[in-house]
Structure 1
């Protein structure tokens, strides 16, 4: 099989790390570029040793900083252009966060959840887009909380509330409920990005949004207060016992299997643990999809960032 470069985010822990190890074991000939805030030699050595991959490169990148995202993308592009990296064939956008309160900002003065969960993946994929070659794939992790229905969240997460990207990117105040809503809204945004990408991808490259369902035993809530973190972990464990969730190992295996076998679905599909199912009715809105793509370009523009930061901190 042809050797490819696979770019990975959100794989330093949890089910993302499990999926990365399985990908590397199944295709050790590929070159894996791992983007993380702490992507030093230790991480590379651990992944290389445990997965048996022949090529793993760690690229330092804080996804809450657009400047770092651009620098990381430029590093990857230099490797592709020089031939030190094989052709680009895959991107796993698994990085994401949820917060206990609203108001936290990215380096560029944007609301943290929207900035990391939506804008970071938009910018990374957009910068790398011209180098993708078929057969290739892009998988962006979403969540069934974007449905906003009790049967998917059991009331743990409020329904999404879509607004203009400009408003969603603006820092605001609020407690745990609004922070949960921001997370659900960002995952709706991921599906909009997926649909917008369908109309922009090179031939032979597919894009999919992926729902891992409830995953117990991860450090996803590491930013939450200790008491809330313990309650949420207990809730997730209960859902796993009830058959509504999976362990990190199970979720990672399902994601890796979906990628390795190739999604048996049209590009743009929403994959619920690998199964092609309809996403929410609200998630099919071409006007919102194109607005998000267009406005995201403005939000990540260097002159726009500088002006906005001055305004918000002045």
Structure 2
């Protein structure tokens, strides 16, 4: 029986590999990709090669109003019967900036908007349209550990603050620096894990929420906002690290993501999946007080959108 999976971040990197794997391995999937209007139709057409069923809905994930419109359109298509039952949401899109001062059209810091709040708008708008069993998968990062073992000194660890502060520009010291931008990234990934824990508590039984960590994956588009030297290193030099245990190849990371989405990797709701296995995330990532605080702030920040 046909079913729908909604996916962000399917245009490149591990998301593209995962999308292709999902379609190849599950012919019943109707994949609905969320992408910019300028590229969504072409992406859907490329993924549909071979007879796969793929559609797209346009959105700029840096704009919560655009995300709201996309989520509402998906909800309406489901209600009209234009899409088969919804069984999955994959929040794979992510962004990292070279500062902590980039502000989106909603007046919010862009890293937090894309990596945390955009997923929340999709999940909350669609939560009563899921047909169980269903699975929500949010791509996170082991940068949230904040130690050399997981980050190799390349990304500062998270610096947790009130979510209302994190949602605004300038939340970290020297906000104009690359270090601040990377701190915003690792902190947003910690926040994403907190929200996964809240989804596990709050969503109806049968809708599982999973945090997926691909590990360090060089050669993806995550560094596209970095300086030329860093972009060159990520494209040309860092991929050699996939020959070591310290990095994951794009193909392997995409395959692991598909495994989580399709349920090949067993993971109860609220789990943290590190590549191919369920594991424990950082000690800091288990904090019910912070999780509740973030939930309330995310609800407050997106309340107007969720009522539309």
TM-score (structure 2 length as normaliser): 0.93
Q: State the secondary structure of the residue aligned to 2:56.
A: strand
Unaligned stretches of 5+ residues in structure 1: 304-314
**Match of residue 199 from structure 2:** 197
Q: Which stretch has the larger CA shift, 188-197 or 289-298? A: 289-298
Moved more, 145-154 or 170-179: 170-179
Q: Name the Cα RMSD after superposition.
A: 1.7
1:257 and 1:65 map into 2 onto residues whose CA distance is 30
Query: Which of 279, 286, 290 is 2:281 aligned to?
Result: 279
**Per-residue deviation, residues 241-299 of structure 1 (Å, max 9, x unmatched):** 32211221121112212332443232101000021111111111111111111111111
- For residue 158 of structure 2, give the secondary structure of its aligned residue in structure 1: coil
- Do the aligned partners of 2:90 and 2:261 also contact (CA within 8 Å) in 1? no
State the partner residue of 2:157.
Answer: 159
1:35 is matched with which residue?
Answer: 34
Residues 7-42 of structure 1: CA deviation (Å, up to 9, x unaligned)? 000110011100001101112222111001134322
174, 183, 186: which one aligns with 2:185: 183
In 2, Cα distance between equivalents of 1:109 and 1:228: 28
1:74-153 matched pairs, under 5 angstroms: 74-153=72-151
Contact 1:8 1:91 in 2 (8 A): yes
| Superposition pairs of residues 35-54 of structure 1, within 5 angstroms | 35-37=34-36, 38-49=38-49, 52-54=50-52
The 8 Å contact of residues 214 and 239 in structure 1, kept in 2 or not, is answered as no
Instruction: Name the residue aligned to 1:13.
Output: 12
Q: What SS class does the counterpart of residue 217 from structure 2 fall into?
A: strand
Matched, 1:251 2:256: no
Q: Any conservation in 2 of the 1:25–1:53 contact (CA below 8 Å)? A: no
C-alpha distance in 1, partners of 2:292/2:56? Answer: 33
Paired residue total: 301
**TM-score, with structure 1 as normaliser:** 0.92
Can you list the C-alpha shifts for 1:228-253, whole angstroms capped at 9, x where unaligned?
21234456324313221122112111
Q: Does the 8 Å CA contact 2:155/2:183 hold for their aligned counterparts?
A: yes
User: What is the correspondence of 1:161-240 to structure 2 with a 5 Å cutoff?
Assistant: 161-172=159-170, 173-234=175-236, 236-240=238-242
Q: List structure 1 runs of 4+ shifted beyond 4 angstroms.
A: none
The 2-side partners of 1:257 and 1:126 are apart by 24
DSSP-derived class of the 2:99 partner = coil
Q: Distance in 2 between matches of 1:174 and 1:117?
A: 20
206-215 vs 246-255, greater mean Cα deviation: 246-255
Secondary structure class of the residue paired with 1:246: coil
Q: Compared with structure 1, are the counterparts of its residues 131 and 224 closer, same or farther at alpha carbon in structure 2 (3 Å cutoff)? A: same
Per-residue Cα deviation, 1:45-64 (whole angstroms, up to 9, x for no partner)? 11101xx3542111110001
Question: Could you tell me how far apart the structure 1 residues matched to 2:229 and 2:168 are?
Answer: 28
* 1:39/1:59 contact within 8 Å kept: no
Structure 2 alignment gaps of length 5 or more: none
Q: Which moved more, 1:255-264 or 1:74-83?
A: 255-264
